[in-house]
Amino acid sequence: MFGHHFSSKNDNLQIREFIRKFAPLIITSKNMKLSQFKFNLPESLIANTPSDQRDEARLMVLHKDSGKIEHKIFKDVLSYFDDQDVMILNNTKVFPARLYGNKEKTGATIEVFLLRELNKELRLWDVLVDPARKIRVGNKLYFGEDDLLVAEVVDNTTSRGRTIRFLFDGTDEEFRKNIEILGETPLPKYIKRKATALDKERYQTIFAKHEGAVAAPTAGLHFSRELMKRLELKGINFAEVTLHVGLGTFRSVEVEDLTKHKMDSEQFIIDAKTAAMVNKAIEEKRRICAVGTTSMRAIESAVSSGRLLKPANDWTSKFIFPPYEFSIANSMITNFHTPESTLLMMVSAFGGYDYVRNAYEVALKEKYRFYSYGDAMLII
């Protein structure tokens, strides 16, 4: 088998070593199936509003080495990290991507969800429209009182996707200001209420810097200024990456064979300073924590041949599911994810499928809150 020959002298020792080395590969080499990530999530456990204080959501701590599970509050995360450990944060900034416009002539209300800017000079945007059947190439859309912005549909991309051009003569700064006035915080569709001023603040991390996301990197939402200060005082270093989260983060997997699923591409940036900070921590065997699945995707998309982090400015469509060998982070913070989501698959790959499945059973029993505004999990 596998072309291995055991000498009679050290048979037992060699066989034991062989099993230790190859058994995990033999057991997990069968591709995992979508149905293995199914579970029944009661509607009542999906969080529609954030916790009162950022750092006071609940925190489930998973210890990979012992299999122990602890129940804490998020600010207790402080006690699991030491001087010179590194937390990798995604500093993308959510922009107010959901606009409501009126179609010319009929005045019908159309939701226009801005996905990404294709050309700054021409003000061309990739968008989703709803209801889509009414919106054709050449249609004009009017936004806000006194038609603060007007856009024209220039192309069809998918059944709901369109390319639109904003007809605006002012400066880029004025244009952005108008988007800010007209746009709503792009709360996920499952939150069936209007976005409020509180959402504008809370559906954004306190370390958000670079605009470009249409969904928040939710694990980072739990960090308050006070908690970050306390972590800093303890000597924890923050390494920032940027991954602009797209709507693909909510897209369901529709194939049973996970190797056939294609992820949407997302832009990410890792600078030399971050790479150097993380690599120093790898060399010194520190605890390196990816804060969120988006940070994890970014760093796993920029691994050098020597299994170190390399600077990058690129697009990634990396899909991580079990079995998968991680190269950079040895711990992670993440929220509780929905059944059959790519996010749950990544977390299962990191924590171990059975262990994470068991932890989710505990979370359901203990009534942890799920999804973007929900509770958190630390895997160490």
Q: Divide the 380 residues of the chain into consecutive groups of 10 and give the mean pLDDT of each group.
A: 46 58 46 93 96 97 96 98 98 96 92 93 94 92 92 91 94 93 92 92 97 96 98 98 90 91 94 98 98 98 96 97 96 97 97 97 98 97
Proportion of the chain in helix, strand, coil states, percent, rounded to 5:
30, 25, 40
d(CA 103, CA 111): 10
d(CA 309, CA 299): 7
For residue 260, the model assigns a pLDDT of 93
235 by DSSP, 3-state: which? Answer: coil
DSSP class of 104? T
Same-domain status, 372 and 253: yes
For residue 158, the model assigns a pLDDT of 84
Provide the 10 A C-beta neighbour count for residue 322: 21
| Largest Cα–Cα separation, the chain | 89
Q: Which of 153, 183, 213 lies at the terminal end of a domain, its last residue?
A: 183
Q: Which CATH number is 333's domain given?
A: 3.40.1780.10
Instruction: Give helix 342-351 / helix 293-300 axis angle, nearest 10°.
Output: 70
Provide the 10 A C-beta neighbour count for residue 341: 18
318 by DSSP, 3-state: which? Answer: coil
334 by DSSP, 3-state: which? Answer: strand
Q: Comparing C-alpha atoms, which of 204, 269, 201 is closest to residue 239? A: 269
Same-domain status, 39 and 80: yes
Same-domain status, 174 and 205: no
Q: Which CATH number is 112's domain given?
A: 2.40.10.240
For residue 309, the model assigns a pLDDT of 98
For residue 1, the model assigns a pLDDT of 35
Same-domain status, 261 and 311: yes
Same-domain status, 208 and 224: yes
d(CA 187, CA 372): 9
For residue 3, the model assigns a pLDDT of 46
DSSP class of 265? P
Same-domain status, 163 and 235: no
Same-domain status, 359 and 235: yes
Same-domain status, 269 and 306: yes
For residue 24, the model assigns a pLDDT of 44
Tokens of 304: 């050098």
Q: Is residue 241 part of a domain?
A: yes
Q: Which of 150, 183, 216 lies at the terminal end of a domain, its last residue?
A: 183
pTM: 0.88
